[in-house]
Amino acid sequence: MNRYILQGGTIITFDSQNPLLEEQAILIDDGMIVKIGDLEDFRDEVCERIDVEGKFILPGLINAHHHFYSTFATGLTKTAVSHNFSEVLSNLWWRLDKNLLEEDIYYSALVSALTSIRKGTTTIIDHHSSPFCVQNSLSQIAKAILDTGIKASLCFEVSDRDGAEIAQAGIEENYQWLKHCQNNPNPYLKGLFGLHAAFTLSDKTLSQIAEKVVELNCGIHIHTAEAETDEKYNVEHYGKRVVERLNDFNLLNSKSILAHCVYLNAKELILAAEKGAAIVTNPQSNLNNAVGIADVCKMKELGVTVGLGTDAMTNNMLEELRIGVWAQHLKQNDPSRGFTEITSALVFNNPIITQKYWGEKHGTIKEGSPADIIVVDYEPYTPLTEANWMGHLVYGISQAKVDVTICQGRILLWEGELLLNLDEQEIIAKAKECAEKLWDRM
């Protein structure tokens, strides 16, 4: 079904100039939104019509910082108690990622992608690590993405923590993946150059990466001042704060993503803004790791584009949004502040970020947008208007069921049922088998 009309629902566009459309229908053709108008405008249109009367039509949600490989950490207890972020890394994540095999990488991505579809996410910017299974690791994730029909930007996190040979393999994995994306354009797959964090990267490695970034004309995706220890390490060993050091290697550009950024000072934020790099905040992860809360209000005041990600704490972007609102209230010590800033991160800024890779209008419902759309079964019991739709999104729509998920015009979920050529129960069984073996290896 390449050409059809979606009609009957109220449209929330994620377009700040025209956020709410009522009694309008959407003509979808070959994966794109080609026309939005009154039903009368489509009177002579001969194609299938899908009626979602009484429901809400939104753009597919975007997760701007995720880790597919984290899927198999769910329920894991085979770790030492961690009292700070450094211990979280060494006791959990660096033990898990070292033991990942190709099959684990594929199934962890597959399960996460399927869950994302159910929660209305159609685009994910991922950050992968498997230091003892580097080569072709991104291809395994890409296979899962193509099997499920969502969109993803992939990268491999380069780090010196496991030695020079693995760092070089990580550089090569990024390089080959980005070359593949450039030589084989695909609306479902994009790439960035992945780095773990400045405190696990030497100047020599950053210099090598910088050369590749210039050659490929790409952005980087890096954890940045997630904990205060990142800043302290860089100041003590290099005499520079994190963003200043990255800038020394010309790694900040308009396509770059700096994840977390809990401990950036004003100078660093201004520098990121001047270079056009985006910051992606991940409130649940930061709260879970007890590292702090990023000051999204300050970031906005200083001109930074701030997006929202989950850091793999959830596949549900609307859950992340809600926690982000509460976290900003606490950070600002003022329940009247932070709502608009964090909500805008999801609905306006995540599209701005992904448009750098997927093109104009991605993440919105406009004529000329990709047909990445969700339908939510939400019946408001108070007025919903252009003035308060964000409030309904956070306090109402977030609690409703996603009925339909469409990506690039293809219906992936219909009335809560996956419409994919995949056996979900078989996938879950295989995932459990992989996870059990992974845990045994740790």
CATH number at residue 376: 2.30.40.10
Domain co-membership, 40 together with 69 = no
193 is in which domain, residue-wise? 61-358
Domain co-membership, 277 together with 263 = yes
Domain co-membership, 22 together with 123 = no
pLDDT of residue 227: 98
CATH number at residue 69: 3.20.20.140
Domain co-membership, 215 together with 301 = yes
| 438 domain residue, yes or no | no
| 132 domain residue, yes or no | yes
Boundary residue ending a domain (358, 385, 402) = 358
SS (H, E, C) the chain: CCEEEEECCEEECCCCCCCEECCCEEEEECCEEEEEECHHHHCCCCCEEEECCCCEEEECEEEEEECHHHHHHCCCCCCCCCCCHHHHHHHHHHHHHHCCCHHHHHHHHHHHHHHHHHCCEEEEEECECCCCCCCCHHHHHHHHHHHHCCEEEECECECCCCCHHHHHHHHHHHHHHHHHHHHCCECCEEECEEEEEHHHCCHHHHHHHHHHHHHHCCCEEEEECCCHHHHHHHHHHHCCCHHHHHHHCCCCCCCCEEEECCCCCHHHHHHHHHHCCEEEECHHHHHHCCCCCCCHHHHHHCCCCEEECCCCCCCCHHHHHHHHHHHHHHHHCCCCCCHHHHHHHHHHHHHHHHHHHHCCCCCCCCCCCECCEEEEECCCCCCCCCCCHHHHHHHCHHHCEEEEEEECCEEEEECCEECCCCCHHHHHHHHHHHHHHHHHHC
The predicted-structure confidence for 170-184, as pLDDT tens digits, reads as follows 999 999 999 999 999
pLDDT of residue 34: 97
| Residue ranges of the chain whose pLDDT lies below 50 | none
How many independent structural domains does the chain possess?
Answer: 2
| 434 domain residue, yes or no | no
pLDDT of residue 78: 81
| 36 domain residue, yes or no | yes
